[in-house]
Structure formats: C-alpha cells, structure tokens
Chain A
Amino acid sequence: MAGKKGYAVYLIPGVILSVAVIVVPLVMTVYTSFTKWNGVGDQKWIGFDNYTRLFEDSLFWSSFGHILLLILAMAVVPTLLGLVLAAVLFDYIGKHFGDRWAAVFRSGFYLPQVIPVAVTGIVWGWILHPDYGALNKILDSIGLTGLAKNWLGDPKYALYSVMGVMIWFQLGYPIVMFMSGLQRVDPALYEAADLDGATWWQRFRKITVYLIRPEFYVVLVTTTIAALKIFGQIFVLTGGGPSNSTLVPSYFAYKNFFEKAQVGYGSAISTVLTVLIIVLAIVFLRLQNRAEKAGA
C-alpha cells in the first residue's frame, strides 16, 4: 500500500468551501439564536429568551404537531405501502408477467419524485383549487357536488389534503429502494417456502420483510428527515395557511427571517429543528446497528 502522507492537500478546496458555506453560517445561526436582531444594525445578546419564547409559542408547537402528521404521510404510509407494492411487483408481477412489467410500474410510480417539488405543488394547487380546480369539477360532473371542498383553503381539510399529496409524491422512492434490495434475495429461499406450502403473505412477512431490513431503515430515516425539512410544497400549496393550519417549522423559520425580520427568533427555530434532525439520525443509526447485530 502506498504511503499515507501527502494526501491531506487534496482536502484543501473541500475544507475551505465547507467552512465558508456550512461551518461559518451554522455557527452564525446558533449565535444569532441567542440575540435579538432584525437583520440590520447590531445584534443584542438576550441569552435564552428566544428559546423560552419558542417553548411558549403555540404556533411553534402546532408546527411540530403538523410535522408528526406529515411524517405519517411522508414516511410511515409510503414505506409500508411501498413495501407491499415492491414485493408484489418483484415476486408476483415480475415472475408471472415478466420483469418488463415490473420495471414499467416502478418507473410510473417513481415519476412524481423526478418532477421539481415546486411544480408538483402547482399541479396539485390547481387540481385542488376551489373554483376552477379539476377535482371539484369532476365531483360536480358526477353529481357529488356535496363532496366538493375548499381543499387547501379550509383549515379543517388543508393539512389532510397536503398529506394526500405527499403520499402521492413519496410512494415511488420506497418502491425503487425495496425492489433493488429484493434483487439480493436468493430465489432458492422463495422456492423452499413454496415447497413448504407457505402462502404469499407468509412468505412476504417471513422472508421479504426480514431480508430487506437495511433498505427499510434507510427509507424510514431519509423520508422522516425529508418530512422534518418540508418547505417547497407547503410554500406553493398553502403558504402555511389557512390560519396557520399547515404551518411547518421550516416555513415558520422562513417567515421570521424574511417576512417579520425576527432573525434571532427564526434562528432559534432553525437551531431546534437541526438538533431534532441530528438526534433522530443518531437514534435511527443506533437502532439499525442493534437490529443488524441481533440479526447476525
């Protein structure tokens, strides 16, 4: 093996760039979260005031409450649904109708993931529009006018509408991940299960789910973190409204930064969000390690 010295020089561009774009801004935001600042002029040190204010702010709590529901829509439902769909596509459609069919389905389900989030927001914003949207028009034309709602404009329905859109948006990702994981599975295992008279569902639960645990964890972590970070769809679909019924932490921070000029408060929100994401990632990594050890 070649000597180990002299490689450090290759890190210089990456380190300089990372310090400028990540380290310095991160430190500045954490510092700013302890100050009162409107973006111009001097920052005034106020200790933990922003944080105490945050924990008494009902908007902050409700924005995290919304995130819990969005985790359901962006992580839990797509992961479980994707698991079943991936297994059906892989060892039912793939085996009985050919891998081509499976690949076509996979691409189709994945398509919403490829379109820019801002654009999917426009698509759904239009479909769900109360006056000229396609959904209400369709309900009208089949005589279900009573079901037509102001999907995104009514605080009672807005968050559920957004959740529906997010399931649509996310579903393709777990399918693609799980189907690639299934390629690792030895076909002989399935045959042995068939010989033992196992039903498809038994096979799914005992073999498929067990063998693609690594993908399962990766999908669950990445989608949960994506839910915590959600911004684009909220910005385009609802702007956090109506009456804050779809407010999420990232949009809450954005509003404080750029609309209310409460930079210190916005920084505190972002800092809490960041800590939460990192803690979550650590917990997930731990769980994954333990599961792998238990499985070995």
Chain B
Amino acid sequence: MTVTAAPPAMRETGEPVVAAKHRNPVRFAVLIALLVLLLLMLAPLLVVALNAIKSPSEYASGGPLSLPGHLYWDGIVNFWNRVDFGQKLWNSFLTSLVVAVLGVVVSILNAYALGIGRVKGRIWFLVFFLVANLLPQEVLVYPLYYLSKQVGLYDNVISIMIIFTVIQSAFGTYLLTSVYAQFPTELLDAAAVDGAGRWRTLWRVVVPVSRPTLGVLFTFFFIWTWNEFFLPLVFLISNDNQTVPVALGVLQGDRLMDATTTSASALIGILPAMLFFVIFQRTLTRGITAGAIK
C-alpha cells in the first residue's frame, strides 16, 4: 500500500506535488469536519452518560450539559434495584446464548445437506429460507402467540429461544450454504477414503474448517437476539421473564421516570451492547462484509 501510494510518475511531473502541498489545509479541514460529525453522532450517547451520573437537583440547576459536581450513582443503583436489572441481564444473556448455539447448529445441519449434499430441490429450500428471512415478524406473531398459549410456553423464555433459533438459522442457512457450496472437495474425498461417515466428516472436517464463518454467525445471532424487541415484548409479559430491551422499553412514559433516571436506564442498556461491540468488533466487521457479497 505505502509503495503504491506515491507512484514515481507523480514526482517527475512536479505539478501534483505542488498541488498536494496546497491541499494540506483542505486535508485538515476534511478531518475536522469528520470529527465534528462524529462528535454529533456520539453526542446523544455522551449526554446520556453525563446525566446518568448526575443527581436530579444538579440536573434541575445545571441543565443537561453541565459536568456533575460529584458522581451520583444512586440513579443507576435505584433503577437497577427497582427493575431487578440483574435478572433481566441474565434472561437476555441466557436467551441469546442458547439461540446463538442452537442457531449455528441448525444452520450447520441445513447447510451440510444443501451446500455439500446438494439434496434434491435445494433451490426451493434456499428460496424458502430467503423468504423466511424477509418475513416481517408481524405476520407470524399472532399464531405463535396463540400456539404458545396452547402448549403452555407463553410468557416463557423457552418460546423465545425456539422462535429465534428458527428465525436466525434461516439467515445462517442461507449464508452458510453458499460457503459450503465452495467447500474443497479434496477434503471431503480424503475423509471418505479414511472411512469417515457423513456424520464424522461433518464434525471432524467441515465444522473445523469453517470455524471462522461459524464464529461470525454465532456473534451475529447473539447480538441480534440480545437486541430483539418485538417478539419478546409480546411473549414475555411477567417481570421475571423480561429481557433487557423489553424491561427498558415498556417503562417509557412511566411517571416515575424523570430525566436522570431515564438516562440512567439508557446507560445500563447501552453498556452491555458496548461491551459486546468491543469484544466482537473484529468478528463483526468481518462478518458484515461476509454477509454482503451474496
């Protein structure tokens, strides 16, 4: 990159070098403009963080942009205890983890049959999974709600786990099938020569080789499920079963929510997401692009 960035031809003419010097102030203007834009993008989150650690009286006197005179954790602590936030975090974590694991497993099994096994009618299966990806959840919600009541899984995280395993694996199957369609046949043949059956080949050859893609899928499924709002809102009505987004979302407009409590609630909703973002960042950026070129 560094070598090609300054081709020798440019120096010979002389003119572009002069032009580059003239452009220097422009460069910094562009950088500063972008920094301002970035600050504007992050401002809402920064304002939330600032006011989450401010006492209500300080907010009343100093407004939203004043720096807090002292750190005030009561807003966060009180809110945490009031909604039993630890329980919500656990519900969200458990749901997301189970969905991510099961979603990846189902995607692997489907993609093994479709991408490597090329079973009959595979195009129709793929069309089905593609359409399943597109469906708005509203078109599934009422029957799912009705059926889950019939089988006694309404207001139970298990119903959410099953539903999201299927929804996420529809995307996973679609993505992973195209990856497996290009799986090196030599590896499969070698496994067959060694006398490995299909089941063994899948877990000993296919899965280890495709581990990077599976990691991306796992990350996606986890974060997507963590962030889901609509179906958990409908299914998880009792306090003990709610996930983080539902617990926070239904409190909006509550009389007990003043400015600092609201920002405290927003901050503890943002923090886990930021944590995942930092942990998964590498996988995430790789993964967004992996899903793109299809």
Contact = CB atoms under 8 A, between A and B. Distances in A.
A270 B227 contact: no
A266 B34 contact: no
B136 interface: yes
A107 B42 CA distance: 11
Interface string A211-225: 000110010000001
A273 interface: yes
B142 A266 contact: yes
B288 interface: yes
Given A22-B140, A168-B41, A177 B233 contact: no
B18 interface: no
B263 A22 contact: no
A252 B273 CA distance: 29
Given A9-B113, A17-B165, A187-B4, 4 more contacts: A8-B119, A14-B109, A18-B128, A88-B30
Nearest to A252: B138
B144 A25 contact: yes
Interface stretch (B68-76, B210-218, B242-250): B242-250
A278 interface: yes
A150 B116 CA distance: 57
B98 to A, nearest CB: 14
A77 interface: no
A93 B292 contact: no
Bin chain A's interface residue count. 35 or more
Nearest to A106: B285
B90 interface: no
Most buried by B among A17, A29, A119, A140: A119
Most buried by B among A132, A141, A195: A132
B293 interface: yes
Nearest to B110: A14
Contacts of A108: 38, 41-42
Contacts of B137: 229, 231
The prevalent SS among residues of A at the interface is helix
Interface of B: 1, 4-5, 7, 9-10, 16, 27, 30-31, 34, 37-38, 41-42, 44-45, 47-48, 51, 59, 63-65, 106, 109-110, 112-114, 116-120, 125, 128-129, 131-132, 134-147, 162-163, 165-167, 169-170, 173, 185, 188-189, 192, 198, 202, 223, 226-227, 229-230, 233-234, 244-246, 248-249, 252-253, 258-259, 262-263, 265-266, 269-270, 273-274, 276-277, 281, 285, 288-289, 292-294
Interface stretch (A49-57, A58-66, A110-118, A154-162): A110-118
Interface in A110-154: 111-112, 114-119, 121-127, 129, 132-134, 137-138, 140-141
A11 B269 contact: no
Contacts of B276: 114
A29 to B, nearest CB: 5
A202 interface: no
A63 to B, nearest CB: 12
Given A180-B289, A191-B4, A257-B141, A13 B42 contact: no
Given A11-B125, A236-B249, A267-B142, A22 B170 contact: yes
Contacts of A22: 132, 135, 140, 166-167, 170
Contacts of B41: 108-109, 111-112, 168, 171
A229 B253 CA distance: 23
A257 B230 CA distance: 13
A229 B226 CA distance: 18
A9 B233 CA distance: 35
A41 to B, nearest CB: 12
A118 B91 CA distance: 16
The list of the 6 closest CB pairs from A to B, nearest first, reads: A7-B117, A119-B269, A25-B143, A180-B289, A134-B64, A118-B249
Given A126-B263, A180-B288, A118 B246 contact: yes
B134 A225 contact: yes
Contacts of B188: 1-2
Nearest to B5: A95
Given A26-B140, A93-B34, A278-B131, A119 B248 contact: yes
A122 to B, nearest CB: 5
B118 to A, nearest CB: 6
A249 B63 CA distance: 38
Contacts of A97: 27, 31
Nearest to A103: B285
Contacts of B244: 116, 119
B109 A127 contact: no
B170 A93 contact: no
A26 B44 contact: no
A129 B266 contact: no
A274 B249 contact: no
B269 A122 contact: yes
A271 interface: yes
Interface string A163-185: 00000100101001100110000
A156 B244 CA distance: 32
A254 interface: yes
Given A25-B140, A112-B41, A277-B134, A235 B233 contact: yes
Contacts of B274: 111, 114-115
